[in-house]
Structures are given as C-alpha cells and as structure tokens.
Amino acid sequence: MLERYSIRKAHFHWFKGSSYAVTRIVRNGYYVSVTPDVLYEPEIRELAVVFPLDRLMIETDGPWPFEGPFAGKQTEPGMVREVIREIALHRGLDEGEAAEAVSDNSKIFYGWNSDPIERCI
C-alpha cells in the first residue's frame, strides 16, 4: 500500500517480516526498528545485521514482557544499551559507532534535535 500511494517515508516499528518484505522496505528507503528481542531471537538479530545501518532504529516498546536476559523485568528505556551492544557485536562495530548510527537515524526520521539515546540512558 505504501508503494501504491508513493509514500516516501515510513518506519516499520518492531519489524518482523519476510525477506521479501525486507527487500521492499530497503528498496523504498524505509526504516525499521528492533527491540530487545534482538538479544535472543535469531531472526531479529539477522535483520539487525543485514538491514542497512543508515535505516535502522531501536526501541524498547514497553511495557512488553521480553524474554531472554530481560525475562521477568519491566521494560524500560535503558534497555537500549543492550540492544546497541548486540547490534555492534554482530555488525563488527564498536558500541559508539552503533549508538551514533541509530541515534542519527532517529533524529533524521523524526526531526529531533537532541540525542534520543542520551535521553534513554
């Protein structure tokens, strides 16, 4: 539908989808975000690795009962640190590079002037 109406800007919040959908999202220059489930869901980790870094954002999407290292914990914005660490690890980046990239993407997409990562940690 976005393609049909020539929508140029879209954010696929907490994206989980097929490789075909990923291809279309990339082709259209849209953004996706991943949540703390990147730490324990292989398909989300793979998305965080293969999706263009200049279109990747992160979120916590709370309140939501995450699993893995966050099982039994209340969702909170500070969890973005672990998400950044995981993205950096699997993309071969240092944490600062990963944090800067996802922060810049959020600022560009949403028109923010301040650093969204700094507001969370």
Greater pLDDT, 2 or 16: 16
Which is more confidently placed, 110 or 2? 110
The helix or strand, by DSSP H or E, that contains position 31, with its residue range, turns out to be strand 31-34
Task: For 70-94, write each residue's pLDDT tens digit.
Answer: 898 888 888 999 999 999 999 999 9
Residue 22 phi, psi dihedral angles, 5° rounding = -60, -45
- pLDDT over threshold 70, residue 52: yes
- Residue 58: the pLDDT is 95
Q: Please name the residue that has the structure tokens 């973005």.
A: 80
Which run of H or of E encompasses 32?
A: strand 31-34
Q: Which residues have CB under 8 Å from 32's CB, separation 6+? A: 11, 12, 15, 22, 25, 47, 51, 55, 56, 57
Q: What 3-state class would DSSP assign to 63? A: coil
Q: Mean per-residue pLDDT for 17-23? A: 91
Domain edges within the chain: 11-120
Q: How confident is the model at residue 119 (pLDDT cuts 50, 70, 90)?
A: low
Instruction: Please check whether residue 1 is in contact with residue 12, taking contact to mean a CB–CB distance below 8 angstroms.
Output: no
Q: Say if residue 120's pLDDT is above 80.
A: no
Q: What's the Rg (C-alpha) of the chain?
A: 14
Identity of the amino acid at 31? Y
Architecture of domain 11-120: Alpha-Beta Barrel (3.20)
